[in-house]
Each structure stands twice: as structure tokens, then as C-alpha cells.
Chain A
């Protein structure tokens, strides 16, 4: 025979659990909502990475001092020689070093140089890994001072400061 004692306790237990579950469901559904609270953490990290890479590339290095009275940074050299591929290679190398393992997180970018010519502000594409197509991207920038004795056909022949902008995304 099945023991029928304690049936009331069982019913009470079930009723109580249903009550508690309903209450918890109501409370949770009222207060917690799916919000994109921390979506921008990703952007923040990528922006910091990009700025760090550009800052490292903008450090003056003594081995490129060639009689100007001051040392040039790699960044200045790349722009003065209009060496986009060289810049891109160095940028990606630094990016991968920061991430750690190679080919794990691929970084793509489009680098643009903005310069002033008289009253006009012009831009040209310095280097890019591939076309931009609606990726989750951030923008980092760096001022670069360029000497008048440069071989970049885009820029005027004068001492000037140009703005290097890098649109950066992963994937």
C-alpha cells in the first residue's frame, strides 16, 4: 500500500514553492531588463589600444636622427616618405604584440592623413587593410609634425603638422 500520511505537507510544500517562484519571477521581471549597459567597454578598450600603438610609434628614436638637430619618430618618417605599407605593417605588428597571440584577434584599420593647404583642409588615405563595411569601429588620432624636407607628394613643401586618423576595428 502507498503510504498516504503527510499528503497535506506535500501539498503545502508545492503551494509554497509555487508562491515563492511566482514572487521571484514577478520581482525579477519588474526590475531587471536587458540593457546594453556595458557595450561601450569594447570601444573603450580598442580606443585605448589604438592610442597606445600610435603613442609608441610617435616616440623619438635616435637611430633615425639624420642631421636635423632632433630625432624623428617612426610616425614622422612614414608620413614624410609617404610610406603607407610600412606604417601599416608596424601598426599591425604592435597591435598583435599587445593582444598576445598572433592571428587570434585580427585588427583592421583605415589610416587617413589630414593636412592643410592654404585655406583648404584635405585628406588622403594613407594605408588600409581592407574596405570598411559597417563594422564596430573606433577612431584614434595623432598629430604628426612633418619637416619641410619631405618626399610626400600630397603635402605642401613647408614645415607643418598633419593629423593622422586611424579608424580601427576587430575582425
Chain B
């Protein structure tokens, strides 16, 4: 390197490293806005409390009206009809085996809460 001044090479190297660093950080920032649905929206979309409440209510109906099928049918109809109109969710409850079916277009949930014919012991929650 003939008469070039080779002092300050460290400064140039640092400048180079920092500029590459800034470039990658910019790439990261750029990627970060790619997120579609935020966590809060996903939580709001998932009908957690609807399903918990429904299970709870079916258990209440089972424990109160297990021996009176005519009462069961009326109360189950209450839930099915109100749910469709107010919550836009299809609910289907089968007494006897106490199967709960819930579907609102996104979340599909089916569970046998208490099967009288099955000796398996179910716990409440």
C-alpha cells in the first residue's frame, strides 16, 4: 500500500460493523409488523368462558333434573334456542349420556360430561 495512510483502520472497521448491524436490525423491525392477529384478539375470539359456562350449566341441569326427563328437555331447549339467537353458536345437549356439543364456526367442542351407562367415575371439573 504505497503511500496510503493506514491509521484509523479500526475506525473504518467499526463503522462497517455498525452499519451491517443497523441493516440487520432494520430487517428485524421490518419483519415484526408481519404479525396477523394479535394475542388479545385470539384470546377474545376463543370462547373459553362460553364453554366453561355451558359445561357448568349442563352439570347443574344433570344434578337437578336427572330424574325428571320432561324438565330436562325444556331446560335444554332454553339453552339451545337462546344460544343460537344470542351467541350465534350451535349447542346440542344429549341427556342420558350428557354429551355437550358446541360449535360457533371457529371452535368446535364436544364432550361427554357424565355417562350414566359407563361405570367410569367423572369428577366435577
Known: A43-B40, A145-B64. A31 touches B78 (CB 8 A): no
Interface SS of A by simple majority: mixed
CA distance A8 to B87 in the complex (A): 73
CA distance A63 to B35 in the complex (A): 51
| B-contact 0/1 string along A106-123, CB 8 Å cutoff | 000000001110000100
Smallest beta-carbon distance B46→chain A, Å: 10
Q: Within 8 Å CB of A43, what residues of B?
A: 40, 44
| A-contact 0/1 string along B22-55, CB 8 Å cutoff | 1000100110010100101101100001101110
Chain B residues 54 to 106 lying within 8 A of chain A, measured CB to CB, are: 54, 56-57, 60-61, 63-65, 71, 74-75, 77-79, 81-83, 85-87
User: Does A152 sit at the interface, judged by CB under 8 A?
Assistant: no
Q: Which of B30, B35, B75, B87 contacts A161 (CB 8 A)?
A: B75
Interface SS of B by simple majority: helix
Q: Within 8 Å CB of B65, what residues of A?
A: 159
CA distance A43 to B43 in the complex (A): 10
Closest to B32 in A: A31
Q: Within 8 Å CB of B86, what residues of A?
A: 114, 121, 141, 163, 165
User: Does A78 sit at the interface, judged by CB under 8 A?
Assistant: no
Interface size on B, residues (CB 8 A): 35
Q: Which of B44, B63, B64, B79 contacts A47 (CB 8 A)?
A: B44
Closest to B49 in A: A51
Smallest beta-carbon distance B49→chain A, Å: 4
Is the pair B56, A58 in contact by a Cβ cutoff of 8 Å?
yes
CA distance A159 to B44 in the complex (A): 32
Q: Within 8 Å CB of A160, what residues of B?
A: 74-75, 78
User: Does A140 sit at the interface, judged by CB under 8 A?
Assistant: yes
Q: Within 8 Å CB of A23, what residues of B?
A: 22
CA distance A71 to B79 in the complex (A): 21
Q: Within 8 Å CB of A32, what residues of B?
A: 29, 33
A-B contact pairs, 12 of them (CB 8 A): A24-B22, A31-B26, A35-B33, A37-B38, A58-B56, A121-B82, A140-B49, A143-B56, A143-B57, A161-B82, A162-B78, A163-B86
Residues of B within 8 A of A (CB): 22, 26, 29-30, 33, 35, 38, 40-41, 43-44, 49-50, 52-54, 56-57, 60-61, 63-65, 71, 74-75, 77-79, 81-83, 85-87
